[in-house]
Amino acid sequence: MIETEVPRKNKASFEKLIKVIRQRNYKKATEYTYLRYNLDFLLFADKPAEKVVTKDIEKYIEHLRKKKVSSSTIQINISSLKMFFEEVLDMNVFQDFRRPAREYKTPKVLSQKEISILLDSASESNRSHLLCALAYFGGLRVGEIIRLKWGQFDLTKKTIKVDSPIPTQNRIVFMDSELQKVLKKFEKEVGTEKSAFLFPGKYEGTHLTSRNVERLVGDLAKTAGIKTQVTLFTLRHSRAIHQLAEGKSLEDIRDFLGHKSLATTESYLPIRKNLRPQVRQKHIQDALKEIKRKYKY
């Protein structure tokens, strides 16, 4: 729950927000985010929520910009406030509000050398090694990795049946020799009961949380001497870029990553999104040439 006290003038409206969020059964992290961002805004506005106007929202967003809050965090703030004012309080303060455009940054790509150093550092623990190998060699998302059970592996066919949190992203992933080696070492250590999670959590029947996994990977990268911030997505993204450098098509990468649309895969390339189709295609080809030049073995 939020540790900051809610101002008396907003206690009633904030209680309504809490009730709606609890009814929707959000994850604890999502619940905290919605409550935290709305409370921060109410403290900034310093007035009852029922008296908030569009200008108050605009001033707050400008305040966040001056604090150099990231574009993605600003977007989440706006979504949190919209939910509170439109759905809980039935107010139309966003009717004349112009939502700022989201800024996209091309994700960091590790070189093959950096990946080798990271995997070598991770190999001191079979569990850490497999976590990184599934993200890099398997192209799996963090949510897909932590939910993996031994029954999803077919060691004869050398495949993983990936059950994504988003059903349209379910797919079969073929394991290359590197991933198979790491998996077999881990298998010898822990066993392979089909209904068991690969990475069990603290309590029976649970799995590791994404937060714990990301912290582990970040610490591994620091230990390996990699200066940039590294997440499991960094490994997944790096693998996609390395495959493009090796000559794989965008369609192949789309299937490997489990993207529903080719446009999602194209967004991994360092190109602007709002270009005319013909200009965009030229930018894509230029980006692919640069990737091959920079990352080819």
The number of folded domains in the chain is 2
Q: What is the CATH number of the domain that holds 245?
A: 1.10.443.10
- pLDDT at 94 > cutoff 80: yes
| Least confidently predicted of 3-7, 48-52, 127-131 | 3-7
Which tens digit of pLDDT belongs to each residue from 25-45? 877 888 889 999 999 999 999
CA angle (156, 159, 161) in 5-degree steps: 125
Q: Is 152 within a domain?
A: yes
Chosen domain end from 89, 121, 150: 89
Same domain, residue pair 161 and 76: no
* Domain match, 121 and 197 both: yes
Confidence of residue 3 (pLDDT cuts 50, 70, 90): low
- Is 278 a domain residue? yes
Domain span at residue 132 reads 112-295
Domain co-membership, 167 together with 65: no
Q: Which of 89, 104, 133 is the last residue of a domain?
A: 89
Contact between 118 and 220 (Cβ < 8 Å):
yes
For residue range 104-145, what is the model confidence (pLDDT) as tens digits? 566 789 999 999 999 999 999 999 999 999 999 999 999 999
Question: What's the number of CA atoms in the CB half-sphere (13 Å) around residue 9?
Answer: 10
* pLDDT of 273: 64
Nearest of 203, 235, 195, 194 to residue 218 by alpha carbon: 235
Tens digits of per-residue pLDDT, 220-266? 999 999 988 899 999 999 999 999 999 999 999 999 999 888 888 88
Cα–Cα distance measured from residue 92 to residue 103, given in angstroms and rounded to the nearest whole number: 26
pLDDT above 90: percentage of residues in the chain: 63
For 17, residues 6+ apart whose C-beta sits below 8 A from its C-beta are 34, 35, 38, 84, 88
Q: In degrees to the nearest 10, what's the CA dihedral of 12, 18, 19, 25? A: 170
Enter the pTM of the model: 0.68
Last residue of a domain, one of 54, 89, 124: 89
- With a pLDDT cut of 70, the percent of the chain lying above it is 95
Position 99 in a domain = no
Residues 154, 134: Cα–Cα separation, whole Å: 15
Does residue 71 share a domain with residue 133?
Answer: no
Average pLDDT, the chain: 89
Q: Are residues 44 and 125 in the same domain?
A: no
Residue type, 34: Y
Read off the pLDDT of residues 177-217 as tens digits, 9 standing for 90 and up.
999 999 999 998 887 788 889 999 888 889 999 989 999 99
Residue 132, token pair as written in the block: 């990184």
With respect to residue 105, please indicate whether it lies within any of the assigned structural domains: no
DSSP 154: E
